[in-house]
A and B are shown apart, each in its own frame.
Chain A
Amino acid sequence: MEINDIIKPENLVYKKPKLLNERNMHYCPGCSHGVVHKLVAQVIEEMGAEEYAIGVSPVGCAVFAYNYIDIDWVEAAHGRATAMATAIKRLQPGKLVFTYQGDGDFAAIGTCESIHACNRGESIAIIFINNAIYGMTGGQMAPTTLLGQKTSTCPYGRRADLNGYPLAITPLLAQLDGTRYVTRQAVHTAAAVRKAKAAIRKAFENSMEGKGTSVVEIVSTCNTGWKMSPEKANDWMVENMFKKYPLGDLKNVDAEK
């Protein structure tokens, strides 16, 4: 069988979701954001939620998320995405409302809004990209930066005595009564991508069913900020990030029942 016999419409098993438009994404080669954008688009498409999904993009690398996924979007001030999403969901309870935020946005400048939205149990989905660095502003230390990890604002490595400890925020959120589903995923392998997609789907369904807050942390790479090749960044993430931020469900109220 020749290649041309295989490449036929009836044999197509994987394609770019239509909702992810034709614009080239601004992310660096190998950036995890692209994979997660694709998953968000796929899940919305598979749910048929194109006409009632509303996304809230953050400040940070993903600020332009609205340029790539063709649904209604608002762009929040730094860290305030969950506050905006709170109002959007309360005023339009029939809509699928989600935020897409990085670690600086969600776990530093927005910590207050993040915790309180989760504690109120707002029926929103939070996609939280944790790559342990500020990507957009040029690789500064994030709340989630690991001890010893070098960034442009801890150039000799993060020190606990100077910079405090890396913040694992999702376990905190899992303790709150308002959260329904808190999970930590990654997108570095095909299997991980499939699991992450299922997690996003569950979070989005929870929003539609008004079940409370869902948090999907995606432990991610920032190969540019980390100054590594994309594949080395994946290896480094597995070796270092997963120790501090192990993958798996931190809370799943539905499974406990």
Chain B
Amino acid sequence: MKEEVKLMKGNEALAMAAIRYGADGYFGYPITPQSEVLEKLEAEMPWDTTGMVVLQAESEVAAINMVYGGACCGKAVMTSTSSPGFSLMQEGVSFMAASEVPALLVNVMRGGPGLGTIHPSQADYFQATKGGGHGDYHMIVLAPSSVQEMTDFVALGWDLAFKYRCLSMILTDGLIGQLMEKVVLPEQRPRRTEEQIRQQCPWAVTGAKGRKNNIITSLELDDDKMEANNNRFQATYREIEKNEKRCELVNCDDADYLIVAFGSQARITMKTMELAREQGIKVGLVRPITLWPFPDEHLRQAAKNVKGILVEELDAGQMIEDVKLAVDCKVPVEHYGRLGGNVPTPDEVLDALKQKFNIVSK
């Protein structure tokens, strides 16, 4: 199937992108606001076309461990969920990180803590970028701000996961997941054959045919060996930090102030920036695309000559910590965010910017 232009919800586009990538398996559990991913996959019946397995699991705990099982086979497998579901998945996430198996995870965030609300939030930033599960590990965290990126990051996420034998996460929210936009769906790629998987993933459990048996485990009771394992994980993370930081900078060259926002909030603050510039306030936008690794170098460059940075996020102040670390607190950094599923208007963010930095517009 060729490229196609469609009008679609973010969640649906993501499901289509998975099929088009040549995914081998999706395992998930319904939860608002991401259930359209599983619904779309079930409706498309890819098992009849590409041979992709789609399974509604009995819980997020089961779903993530199915993903773990599939990932151990060297298959391109994924799950999607929303915040409370991702909390349940942390066990499997930690095990997969420790076993160095690739997989794509999607969290369409909703407001928490607890059952919270079904409306958008970005309050799982810490959980996604700083662990969530136990032990020293990281996932590559991609933050789409459009339906097109919901689509494109599926392929990017899997490619990076296979390249580094790590987990990739698409961290988005109910706003992008439910948003309908024009999207270009990529061309259908074939699923890899068993022979291709054996070559690409010689570590995978494909049956000990013509090679020594493979064992995938996160357990190692010899302290020196476990330390060596951890050092290997960390070396991978340093490599990812070196190569994979991604960021979009808009109007930063002449900016007096920066707004840092990701995902859905970058769309809103894009408008804030326009409004500010109409009032003569030179605002630039820094949109981290990878939340881990955090694009600190991009931010440092953009912040060289600014008077202040406003971090706008749908939480009580999480990404602001990475922003402060990036600029080494050499620039005043303030936070603005709405909670509980509320989303600010562009004007509201502009008011916050003016107030926090005592800007009087012309």
Contact = CB atoms under 8 A, between A and B. Distances in A.
Interface in B31-68: 53, 55, 57-59, 61-63, 65-68
Contacts of A83: 57, 61-63, 65-66, 68-69
A70 B73 CA distance: 17
Given A72-B215, A113-B61, A86 B69 contact: yes
Interface string A36-69: 0000000000000011111011000001001100
A71 B55 CA distance: 27
A66 B58 contact: no
Interface residues of A, number: 32
Contact of A77 (B25, B65, B207, B215): B65
Interface string A105-118: 00000001100100
A247 interface: no
A50 B66 contact: no
Interface residues on B, range: 35 or more
Contact of B209 (A52, A56, A74, A112): A52
A75 B208 CA distance: 16
B206 interface: yes
B217 A72 contact: no
B207 A53 contact: yes
A165 B336 CA distance: 54
A90 B215 CA distance: 19
A121 to B, nearest CB: 13
Interface string B197-222: 00000000111111011111111000
Nearest to A88: B69
Contacts of B210: 51
A73 B61 contact: no
B75 interface: yes
Question: Chain B CB within 10 Å — which of A71, A74, A90 has the most?
Answer: A74
A80 interface: yes
B159 interface: no
A25 interface: no
Interface of B: 24-25, 27, 53, 55, 57-59, 61-63, 65-70, 72-73, 75, 77, 91-92, 95, 99, 194, 205-210, 212-219
Given A73-B215, A75-B216, A84-B65, 8 more contacts: A56-B69, A67-B215, A75-B215, A84-B72, A88-B69, A91-B25, A113-B65, A116-B58
